């Protein structure tokens, strides 16, 4: 492929990409109303300079009044002229461009970029970490194996890169670059056998147990079967599997300091491992001992030497059987990210993790995150909770959860719905109740959850999809959490309700085939004469949502959309508009109505709903209202032009067929037919 014709100085690219796809915070006041009217005629780099002002790094998406579809199409044309194998653009720009075009690129185009990136032999000496990070992000999006990403990071380290060069929020993956051994990567079925000796601290009866989270699933994309059994003194005392997840054993009698053989087997069957699912924990409780993980001081190898258990990992890679044996101090693993990296000697990666932990958990750093320029900054553990949870022990995950719950609850405020749900899914391993309470704190700060502008093919796809994921987690894997959500976090002290919790519970009741009882409960709340005005609005929105999913299938899947009849809850939305008292609440209801109307192509009615709220919207929300109005006006204009464009296309096709048939008649010397088609063309204004 030829090099791009657009010439740009590298300095200009750096100006763009130092902000684009980084972690800089963008304030609302910095975002313009829209792209310039003539943006398609501007040089690409000038366009991208405008685009970064619409990029929200926390949500990793474009926001505001911007025609994202047209922008991506524009970028696709630009990327077609770039050869990733030889391009002089830096990786920060190439990664940003690929992020923008990724949903629009064909597999053939992706493969071409993939081959181009793989063919490069980059010189990393003197290169900033941001440049490496951009390449690694690009490789991840191109679905290149984790080993290749780590090798690239290792090359950067060998060229002089230092851990101190890595921003603290990036250390989760970067720590692998500083380890001089390559981890085996497990992406599908595998097994682990932990063998050794168990020593009890006191005489008495002990109960051994595993995680209460049953992750077995028949999901259409990520089916998973996980089983775990425990044998003590040659007697199997516990077996948990997909058929029946038995968490705890019957009591077993142990004598103080007398070692007995112990074997723990874990078997995982999966075509491809899902995130925040696979984990292994081994607990005990007994005389004077509350339930806790069995630590290495009570475990020894089969011959009684050293601390910890002999662990044998087995899996298949490209049809070849693989195995690895090492010593694991305890059975305490949250394999919440995939593929799972397994090191023959975990001590080096543990040293990196320890340093990362000290940097991110320092009180000065936590305080800085809690009040960054007057607002919370997204703590690194929230940025990639799956990878972070996998690198931490249960005790460390608990320590961070405790810091959030007890000391720095404001840290959860900037989380998106996706980040809040991912964090719960990953950090619940070993600490399910603390993770739920952290989600509860987040939900209390987002009780008046707003739907997003109706972009794309899914209505409010980002948040509804995440609330559905959480519903699956708490309904299928940890049912007691759905009960706690309803009892502890749904109803607020003033009598109103938390919408994120209500949406999760709506999906949860649908899964349990109990949506009718949920609707009856909501109707009961709406009959409560004490719940009036603004406090009534969220209950009405929750009731509208329940009505919208009433006809949906209860067999929810992680990656299958729930069919919602968006207009079925209209009467509840209309009542919410009537009872709302404050301007902000009236505007929020107007947006809910307008979003549904616009999504169902009723643009005039959508604009009318927004116009009704224009005079009463608070000043600080006028900008948001203007953005919604501009977006829906553009949708209406596009809809109005569609029939004309369809007529033009039909006419062009009709004329094309007439010309083809005229020429065919002339070729076979059929003068009568040729004349007839010629006459039809003249009638249509074509000669």
Flag the least confident range among 100-104, 111-115, 558-562, 613-617: 558-562
Of 115, 73, 272, 116, the residue nearest 187 (C-alpha): 272
Residues 190 and 209 grouped into a single domain: yes
pLDDT at 99 over 60: yes
CATH number for the domain that contains residue 306:
2.60.120
What rounded mean pLDDT belongs to the chain? 88
Domain contains 348: no
Residues 565 and 481 grouped into a single domain: yes
Residues 108 and 223 grouped into a single domain: no
Residues 655 and 615 grouped into a single domain: no
Domain contains 4: no
CATH number for the domain that contains residue 570:
1.25.40
pLDDT, residue 307, reads 94
DSSP labels, 434-483: HHHHHHHHHHHTTTTPPPPP--TTSTTHHHHHHHHHHHHIIIII-THHHH
pLDDT, residue 2, reads 30
pLDDT at 8 over 80: no
3-state secondary structure of 277: coil
322 confidence band (pLDDT: 50, 70, 90): very high
Mean pLDDT, range 370-389, rounded to an integer: 87
Mean pLDDT, range 200-214, rounded to an integer: 97
Q: What digits encode the pLDDT tens for the residues 501-515? A: 999 999 999 999 999
Phi-psi region of 138 (alpha: psi -120 to 50; beta: other; left: phi over 0): alpha
Residues 115 and 209 grouped into a single domain: no
Domain contains 41: yes
3-state secondary structure of 9: coil
User: Please, which residues have CB within 8 angstroms of residue 606's CB and are 6 or more apart in sequence?
Assistant: 593, 594, 595, 597, 598, 632, 636
26 confidence band (pLDDT: 50, 70, 90): very low
Residues 132 and 190 grouped into a single domain: no
Residues 22 and 124 grouped into a single domain: yes
Flag the least confident range among 153-157, 252-256, 273-277, 555-559: 555-559
pLDDT, residue 663, reads 85
Max avg pLDDT among 137-146, 191-200, 220-229, 451-460: 191-200
Residues 513 and 426 grouped into a single domain: no
Residues 460 and 586 grouped into a single domain: yes
pLDDT at 33 over 70: no
Q: Specify the number of domains making up the chain.
A: 5
Q: What digits encode the pLDDT tens for the residues 36-86? A: 888 888 887 788 877 877 777 656 677 766 777 788 888 888 888 899 999
In the chain, the percentage of residues whose pLDDT exceeds 90 is 63
Of the residues 183, 210, 239, which one is the last residue of a structural domain? 183
Of 51, 131, 57, the residue nearest 89 (C-alpha): 131
Boundaries of domain holding 380? 355-431
Q: Specify the higher pLDDT residue, 605 or 9.
A: 605
pLDDT, residue 60, reads 67
Of the residues 183, 208, 236, which one is the last residue of a structural domain? 183
Residues 600 and 463 grouped into a single domain: yes
Give CA–CA dist 340/632, Å, rounded: 45
Residues 391 and 491 grouped into a single domain: no
Mean pLDDT, range 205-231, rounded to an integer: 93
Using the structure block, give the residue that is written with the tokens 């505001």. Answer: 64
H-run or E-run covering 315? strand 309-317
Q: What digits encode the pLDDT tens for the residues 625-657? A: 888 888 888 888 877 876 666 566 667 777 777
In the chain, the percentage of residues whose pLDDT exceeds 70 is 92
Q: What digits encode the pLDDT tens for the residues 324-345? A: 999 999 999 999 998 999 999 9
Of the residues 291, 312, 343, which one is the last residue of a structural domain? 343
16 confidence band (pLDDT: 50, 70, 90): very low
Residues 648 and 630 grouped into a single domain: no
Domain contains 350: no
């Amino acid at each position: 492929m030829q090099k791009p014709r657009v010439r740009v100085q590298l300095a200009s690219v750096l100006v763009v990409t130092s902000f684009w796809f980084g972690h800089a915070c963008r304030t609302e006041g910095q975002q313009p109303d829209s792209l310039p009217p003539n943006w398609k005629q501007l040089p690409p780099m000038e366009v991208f300079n405008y685009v970064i002002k619409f990029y929200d790094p926390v949500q990793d998406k474009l926001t505001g009044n911007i025609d994202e579809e047209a922008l991506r199409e524009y970028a696709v044309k630009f990327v077609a002229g770039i050869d990733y194998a030889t391009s002089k653009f830096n990786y920060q720009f190439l990664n940003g461009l690929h992020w923008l075009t990724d949903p629009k690129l064909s597999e053939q185009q992706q493969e071409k970029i993939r081959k181009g990136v793989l063919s490069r032999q980059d010189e990393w000496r003197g290169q900033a970490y941001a440049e490496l990070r951009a390449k690694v992000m690009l490789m991840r999006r191109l679905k290149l194996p984790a080993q290749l990403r780590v090798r690239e990071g290792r090359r950067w380290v060998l060229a002089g890169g230092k851990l101190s060069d890595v921003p603290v929020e990036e250390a989760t993956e970067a720590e692998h670059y500083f380890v001089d051994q390559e981890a085996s990567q497990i992406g599908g079925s595998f097994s682990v056998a932990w063998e050794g000796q168990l020593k009890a601290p006191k005489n008495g009866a002990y109960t051994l147990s595993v995680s209460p989270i049953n992750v077995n699933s028949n999901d259409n994309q990520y089916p998973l079967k996980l089983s775990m059994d425990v044998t003590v003194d040659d007697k199997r005392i516990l077996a948990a599997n997909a058929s029946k997840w038995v968490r705890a054993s019957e009591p077993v009698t142990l004598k103080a300091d007398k070692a007995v053989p112990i074997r723990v087997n874990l078997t995982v069957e999966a075509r491809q491992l899902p995130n925040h699912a696979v984990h292994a924990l081994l607990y005990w409780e007994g005389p004077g001992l509350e339930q806790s993980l069995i630590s290495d001081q009570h475990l020894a190898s089969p011959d009684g030497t050293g601390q910890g258990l002999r662990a044998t990992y087995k899996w298949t890679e490209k049809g070849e059987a693989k195995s690895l044996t090492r010593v694991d101090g305890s059975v305490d693993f949250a394999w919440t990210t995939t593929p799972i990296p397994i090191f023959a000697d975990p001590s080096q990666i543990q040293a990196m993790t320890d340093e990362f932990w000290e940097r991110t958990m320092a009180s000065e750093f936590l305080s800085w995150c809690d009040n960054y320029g007057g607002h919370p900054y997204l703590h690194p553990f929230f940025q990639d909770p799956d990878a972070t949870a996998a690198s931490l022990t249960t005790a460390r995950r608990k320590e961070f959860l405790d810091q959030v719950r007890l000391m720095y609850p404001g840290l959860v405020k900037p989380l998106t719905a996706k980040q809040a749900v991912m964090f719960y899914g990953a950090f619940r391993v070993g600490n399910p109740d603390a993770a739920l309470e952290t989600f509860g704190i987040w939900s209390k700060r987002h009780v008046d959850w707003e739907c997003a502008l109706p972009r794309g093919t899914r209505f409010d796809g980002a948040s509804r999809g995440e609330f559905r994921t959480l519903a699956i987690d708490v309904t299928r894997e940890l049912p007691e959490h759905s009960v706690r959500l309803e009892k502890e976090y749904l109803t607020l002290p003033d009598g109103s309700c938390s919408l994120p919790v209500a949406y999760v519970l709506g999906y949860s009741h649908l899964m349990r085939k109990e949506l009718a009882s949920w609707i009856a409960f909501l109707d009961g709340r709406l009959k409560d004469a004490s719940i009036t005005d603004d406090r009534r609005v969220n209950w009405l929105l929750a009731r509208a949502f329940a009505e919208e999913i009433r006809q949906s299938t209860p067999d929810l899947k992680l990656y299958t959309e729930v069919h919602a009849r968006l207009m079925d809850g209209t009467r509840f939305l209309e009542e919410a508009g009537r009872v709302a008292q404050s301007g902000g609440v009236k505007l929020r209801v107007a947006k809910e109505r307008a979003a549904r109307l616009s999504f169902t192509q009723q643009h005039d009615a959508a604009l009318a709903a927004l116009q009704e709220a224009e005079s009463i919207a608070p000043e600080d929300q006028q900008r948001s209202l203007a953005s919604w109005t501009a977006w829906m006006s553009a949708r209406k204009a596009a809809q109005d032009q569609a029939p004309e464009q369809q007529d033009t296309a039909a006419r062009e096709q009709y004329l094309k067929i007439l010309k083809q048939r005229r020429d065919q008649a002339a070729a076979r010397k059929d003068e009568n037919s040729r004349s007839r088609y010629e006459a039809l063309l003249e009638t249509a204004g074509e000669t």
